[in-house]
Amino acid sequence: MNFIKRAYKSTKVKMGRTVLLTLVFSAILIFILAGLIIQNASLKAIENASKSTGATVTLSTNIRNAFDRSDNSESDSEEGRPDPGSFQISPVELAIAEELASMDNVASYNYISSTSANAESFDAITSTDESSSENSNSMPGGRMAGMLLGDVTISGTSATDTLSAFTDGTNKLIEGVGLTDEDIDTNNVVIETNLAEANDLSVGDTIEVTSTSDEESTIELTIVGIYESSATVDSRMMQMSTLNPANTIYASYKVANTLKGEDYENTVDSVVYTLEDPGQLQQFVQDAEAAGLDTDAYMLQTNDQMYQQMLQPLENVGDFAEKIVLLVSVAGVVILSLIVILMVRERKHEIGVLLSLGEKRSKVISQFFVEMLIVLIVAIGIAGVSGKYVGNVIGEQLLAQETSTTSEVAAMDGNGPGGAAAFGGRPQGGGGGFQSFRNFGASSSEVATQIKDLDITISLEELVKLGGFGLGIAFISIIIASIGVMRMQPKKILIS
Partner 1 sequence: MLEIKDLNYWYTNKEDALYNDVNLTFEAGRLYAILGSSGSGKTTFLSLIAGLDVPKKGDVVYDGKSIRKIGMTQYRNRCVSIVFQSYNLLPYMSALENIVSAMEITHSKQKDRRAYALAMLEKVGITKELALKNVQHLSGGQQQRVAIVRAMCCDAQLVVADEPTGNLDEQNSREIILLFKRLAHEQQKCVIVITHEKDIAKECDTILQLKNKTFQLVK
Residues of this chain that interact with partner 1 (CB under 8 A) are 2, 5-6, 9-10, 13-14, 349-350, 352-360, 489-491, 494-495
Nearest approach, Cβ of residue 353 and partner 1 (Å): 5
Nearest approach, Cβ of residue 358 and partner 1 (Å): 2
Is residue 232 within 8 A of residue 438, CB to CB? The reply is: no
Nearest approach, Cβ of residue 345 and partner 1 (Å): 15
The phi and psi torsions of 240 (rounded to 5 degrees) equal -90, 110
Nearer to partner 1, 420 or 494 (CB): 494
Nearest approach, Cβ of residue 482 and partner 1 (Å): 16
Nearer to partner 1, 69 or 348 (CB): 348
Nearest approach, Cβ of residue 351 and partner 1 (Å): 10
Tell me the residue type at 81: R
Nearest approach, Cβ of residue 356 and partner 1 (Å): 5
Nearer to partner 1, 457 or 489 (CB): 489
Nearer to partner 1, 172 or 360 (CB): 360
Nearest approach, Cβ of residue 369 and partner 1 (Å): 17
Gap between the Cα atoms of 313 and 38, Å rounded: 12
Nearer to partner 1, 148 or 373 (CB): 373
65 beta partners: none
Nearest approach, Cβ of residue 471 and partner 1 (Å): 25
Is residue 149 within 8 A of residue 168, CB to CB? The reply is: no
- Smallest CA-to-CA distance from 310 within 125, 42, 107 is with 42
Nearer to partner 1, 7 or 376 (CB): 7
Nearer to partner 1, 347 or 388 (CB): 347
Gap between the Cα atoms of 301 and 297, Å rounded: 13
Cα-only R_g, the chain: 34
Nearer to partner 1, 350 or 396 (CB): 350
Nearer to partner 1, 11 or 115 (CB): 11
Nearest approach, Cβ of residue 375 and partner 1 (Å): 15
Gap between the Cα atoms of 170 and 231, Å rounded: 6
Nearer to partner 1, 13 or 145 (CB): 13
Nearer to partner 1, 145 or 357 (CB): 357
- Smallest CA-to-CA distance from 256 within 308, 179, 336, 325 is with 179
Is residue 249 within 8 A of residue 155, CB to CB? The reply is: yes
Nearest approach, Cβ of residue 339 and partner 1 (Å): 18
How far apart, in Å, are the Cα atoms of 6 and each of 239, 242, 365, 469, 488? 90, 87, 12, 25, 20
Nearest approach, Cβ of residue 367 and partner 1 (Å): 11
Nearest approach, Cβ of residue 21 and partner 1 (Å): 15
Nearer to partner 1, 276 or 350 (CB): 350
Half-sphere exposure in the Cβ direction for 275 (13 Å, CA):
23
